[in-house]
Structure 1
């Protein structure tokens, strides 16, 4: 199947909300996302409108989607821009200009068809194209128990950095940092 890989548009807040809620209902959501379905589903429309508008603007983040010819959103990934002068996000503060991939999700019926690869290719290319100081690396975190995701990220070219983060609500679990360098 052909997929259109593109940035989300500001007016697409309803499908952006729907795919996020679908991701949070996925069987591995508890180890793949820091947010819960219960918390997200009660957020007001204004939250989703602003979140989508910000992701469409691309100033601090950018969301990419894989769209089927009939308009279904098959998958998504978001990119957060991290600069050394910024407040630390998840994990350690940025030592240099980098981006951070988050919110990775491909619907079950589209897995194994190249959607993840295409989304990551778009997200990484966008990262390298940012103006200002060049982005030195693209990073992401994966839960230590999410072997399927870790294998996919390795296949795409991400490598473990050895850095880890303990989760606030589950101090016994680790998130493992992976990266691709320019």
Structure 2
């Protein structure tokens, strides 16, 4: 099957909402996402419209999707550009220009065909291509109880940084930071 990997379009907010709800229903969701299905369902359409528009263009964030030949969106990853001095989602101050990968998901029936690798390739290529800020590293967080994701990230070159963040909420536990430095 030939999939198209591309940036999301602003007008695809309903499709992105549906894909997010599928992701949040996945068995790995409690340790993979910082949001629940219930929280996502409570959000108004304006939230999804703004969120999708924000990651469809510009240089502060970009969302990439995998589109199947029939047009179904089957996977996604989001790149957040983190500026020096800003605080990340855990309240930690950013020390150098970096990108943060979040929202990684591929529908179960499309796993094992290289889509996650292709999504990461597109996301990382975009991040490295930015001139301002020139990204020094790309990072992500992975839950201690998500060995499948940890293995994938290692396979594509991410290494543990030694940084970890304790989590509250249903999953609890710890998220480990992994990163790859500019080639």
Give the TM-score band, short-chain normalised.
Answer: over 0.9
Partner of 1:35: 35
Change (3 A) 1:39 1:172: closer
- Secondary structure of the 1:12 match is helix
CA distance in 2, matches of 1:4, 1:172: 36
Structure 1 residue 91: Cα displacement = 6.0
User: Contact 1:91–1:165 at 8 Å: present in 2 too?
Assistant: no
TM-score scaled by length of structure 2: 0.95
CA distance in 2, matches of 1:170, 1:10: 32
Q: Distance in 2 between matches of 1:171 and 1:26?
A: 14
**Where does residue 117 of structure 2 map in the other structure?**
117
Instruction: Measure, in 2, the Cα distance between the counterparts of 1:133 and 1:38.
Output: 36
The answer to which of 142-151 and 52-61 deviates more is: 52-61
Question: What is the distance in 2 between the residues matched to 1:2 and 1:171?
Answer: 35
Q: Which residue of 2 aligns with 1:104?
A: 104
Across the aligned residues of Structure 1 and Structure 2, the Cα RMSD in angstroms comes to 1.4
Hey, what's the Cα distance between the residues in 2 that align with 1:18 and 1:170? 22
Q: Which moved more, 1:20-29 or 1:90-99?
A: 90-99
Normalising by structure 1, what TM-score? 0.95
- Give 1:171 shift: 9.1
Matches within 5 A, 1:1-182: 1-90=1-90, 92-169=92-169, 173-182=173-182
The number of residue pairs the alignment matches comes to 182
- Shift, 1:69, TM fit: 1.1
Q: Give the conservation status (yes or no) of the 8 Å contact 1:63–1:79.
A: yes
Q: Is the 8 A contact 2:55 2:62 kept in 1?
A: yes
**Cα distance between partner residues in 1 of 2:54 and 2:68:** 23
Q: Extract unaligned runs of 5+ from structure 1.
A: none
Distance 1:42 1:56 in 2: 23
